[in-house]
A and B are shown apart, each in its own frame.
Chain A
Amino acid sequence: MASTETHDTPGLFRRVMESEHGFLALVLIVLVVGLGLATDRFLTGSNAVAILHQSSLVLIVAVGMTLLLITAEVDISVGASLAFASCIVMATINATGSIALGALAGVAFGAGIGLINALVTTVLRVNSLIGTIAMMMMLNGGVYLFTREAVQNHHQLPLFPKIATGFIAGIPVPVLIAAVVAAVGWIALSRTRIGRLFLATGANPRATRLSGYSPERFKTVAFVVTGALVGLAAVVLASLLNAGQPTAGQGFELTVIAAVLLGGTSLMGGRGTVLGTILAVLILKVIDNGIILLRWNQDLQIIVPGIVLILALYMDQRKRGHHAG
């Protein structure tokens, strides 16, 4: 028996490490157990709700970013677009008194920015990293042409704050929104032919083209979907802050991209899953939460995810090297 145990344990560990999401799930479990032992305030219902709430905004955009990175493109302008769109949302609701029109304006704005990014990338052939950095700069400056100050809630519609602070069946509304977005993204990417074509676009665009499909079209859809999800997140953000904040979203793009990469999506395209992104977002937010609960220096909230990301990418490379070897 003893010899069987020593033989099986490394096997189980190796299987976990080599499975698509085993390593991420293991990291998450270790974090949860560790923090649960370190502080009795971690494993509580209210803290779980807080972590999920904090994860929702990042997850909504990260689902789109997963799709985009899979097609071997990236969007650095999502943080700047989020801030601008939140101002658009609030200004539209102030002007029209309609939450639906405000939400529509936010989503349309985000999708429009995504479309411009797509055209710059696919038509002008500008590298998406450079093109979306330029877009970020334009949005950072442009939002101040739109408004120099936060767009305050002048409509006072009672339903509006509930988008971010309301609960349905005990679950925060933003968490439900993020769950729906993630579920749709997961099904589309892993259970449909279109999802496989997105993966093929990133893995081998030439083969995709030879199969009769346009890689540019899939990239355009990915940019527009990401932008539209930024607009959706902006509706939640504007509700959460009860204002459109031109200064919001600083560093948001890095959190989103870090989560997607940590989740196993390849920067080179062709590989990635929404489930991996969900696990990675939870890992980053559990770390954030733990740092505050343990009363550590909050600057670690910026440092630790960077370290985790490097470790995760290193482990991922080792895993792939092992497979190749």
Chain B
Amino acid sequence: MKATTRRISALAIAVGVTASGAWAQETPKRIGYIVNYATHEWYQNVIKGMEARADELGIEVEVIDANLDIAKQVAAAEDFMARQIDVLVMTPVNEQGVVPIVRRAKADGVPLVIEGNPVPGMQTMVAICDYDTGYSAGVVAGEMLKGEGDDAPRVMNVGLPLLSATILRSQGFMDGIQTIYPEAEMVHDLDGGGNPDRAQEVSSAALAADSDIDVIYGINDSSALGGLQAWRAAGLPEDDLLVVGTGSEGLAFLNEMQTEGPFKIEAAMFPEKIGYTLVDTAVSLFQGEDLPEHVVSPTTAVTFDEVGQFYSYDGTSRQIQWDGINALPVPEACMKYASDL
């Protein structure tokens, strides 16, 4: 996606929907969402956000899990279109694999909202700025380490090179921390697969090779926690370690942060907000509004002291604090896109 493409924030969409008296207009009755991997906590919270917003608007949301199977996703999309769904929402299993669906939706006049990763020919997409998310976490991490008088940090990146979005996060994190420590070094660049068991396994081997690490960065919470568990399994001291997670996927990062251990920074991406914005965008698209190609959803890097502004947590469940999230500034454009890689 080119940086010159028009973009608009999630807040602007919500305000626009409200200000234009959208409620008085015809609203869609049914939205079909084909999620790529519903067992992941991130997507469960996206769905919660969608359902909450849909309830407010009196819309029915039907969810089908593609379970990482592109054939299943395509079949589900065809099924939704055959049943004349009002708006289709889709998180692509594979960006190229859903191109035929995007074309068919356009030809049949079915409004289609993409979530997360851009698809050629799409009408509109709701997504965060991945590079910016990593970058802001890198800056906060650098400032935290500088405040403690640390030397140039050595970083272990528990990444996921399969996806452009997660490559951008890792790049952003290193660029961000290097604004504070230009000589900060990525010692280990790992493929943790985005899941905790794989992340733990590769981190364990990497730490055995070189455990002189100051920062563990994970492209999602599972990766960061897998890296941290590998650190613990190696019997390494946690006093001078800083762990930075990404996503605010579920409860795991809150559990870990509240122990006041090394997991001190979370690059929060607010999946509930994504879900909320998906429904607003779907409504706008259904009503024929001219929408931008990328509707940006806000992110921010938070410490344990700040996390309460966005989530209340009672030890077993979390509640999103909409005032805190809606007050976050949303960038007009992302600092870097997949097309820049």
Contacts and interface: CB of A to CB of B under 8 A. Distances in A.
A50 B206 CA distance: 9
Nearest to B251: A152
Interface string B202-213: 101111111100
Contacts of A184: none
A172 B204 CA distance: 13
B208 A49 contact: yes
A156 B316 CA distance: 12
A322 B262 CA distance: 58
Interface string B158-191: 0000000000000000000000000000000011
Contacts of A39: 209
Nearest to A246: B39
Given A167-B235, A242-B229, A292 B252 contact: no
A44 B207 CA distance: 12
Given A46-B234, A298-B191, A298-B202, A41 B208 contact: yes
Contacts of B209: 39, 41, 47, 292-293
Given A47-B208, A246-B39, A292-B205, A152 B197 contact: no
A249 B204 contact: no
Interface string B244-279: 000000111001100100000000000000000000
A144 interface: yes
A127 B190 CA distance: 40
A240 B225 contact: no
B316 A154 contact: yes
A292 B235 contact: no
A298 B235 CA distance: 25
Interface string A232-273: 000001001111011111000000000000000000000000
B197 A237 contact: yes
Contacts of B250: 149-150, 152
B92 interface: no
Interface string A46-73: 1101110110000000000000000000
Contacts of B196: 241, 243, 245, 248
Contacts of A164: 229, 233
A50 B208 contact: yes
A267 B335 CA distance: 56
Nearest to A151: B251
A132 interface: no
Given A50-B234, A148-B44, A161-B232, A245 B197 contact: yes
A165 interface: yes
Contacts, number: 101
Given A150-B252, A237-B197, A165 B229 contact: yes
Contacts of A245: 195-197
Provide the main secondary structure of the chain B interface: helix
B111 interface: no
A144 B316 contact: no
A293 B209 CA distance: 6
Contact of A54 (B205, B211, B226, B235): B205
Interface in A137-162: 144, 148-150, 152-154, 156, 161
A241 B306 CA distance: 26
Contact of A154 (B205, B235, B315): B315
B201 interface: yes
Nearest to A41: B209
Contact of B211 (A46, A172, A237): A46
A298 B210 CA distance: 17
Interface in A1-50: 39, 41, 44, 46-47, 49-50
B38 interface: yes
Contacts of A54: 201, 204-205
B205 A49 contact: no
Interface in A166-206: 167, 172
B139 to A, nearest CB: 28
A216 interface: no
B243 to A, nearest CB: 13
Contacts of B197: 237, 240-241, 245, 248-249
A316 interface: no
B200 interface: yes
A131 B197 CA distance: 27
A90 to B, nearest CB: 12
B41 A247 contact: no
A77 interface: no
Contacts of B200: 240-241
A150 B315 CA distance: 14
Nearest to B205: A292
Contacts of A44: 208
Contacts of B251: 152
Contact of A165 (B201, B205, B207, B235): B235
Given A44-B208, A49-B208, A248-B197, A240 B233 contact: yes
Nearest to A153: B255
11 contacts: A148-B38, A150-B250, A164-B229, A164-B233, A165-B229, A165-B233, A167-B235, A172-B233, A245-B196, A247-B39, A292-B190
Interface of B: 38-41, 44, 190-191, 195-197, 200-202, 204-211, 225-226, 229, 232-235, 250-252, 255-256, 259, 315-316
Given A152-B250, A247-B195, A293-B209, 18 more contacts: A39-B209, A41-B208, A41-B209, A46-B207, A47-B208, A49-B235, A54-B204, A148-B44, A150-B250, A165-B229, A165-B232, A172-B233, A240-B200, A241-B225, A241-B229, A242-B229, A292-B205, A293-B205
The 10 lowest CB-CB distance pairs between A and B, nearest first, are A50-B208, A292-B205, A47-B208, A41-B209, A165-B232, A165-B233, A298-B191, A152-B251, A248-B197, A149-B41
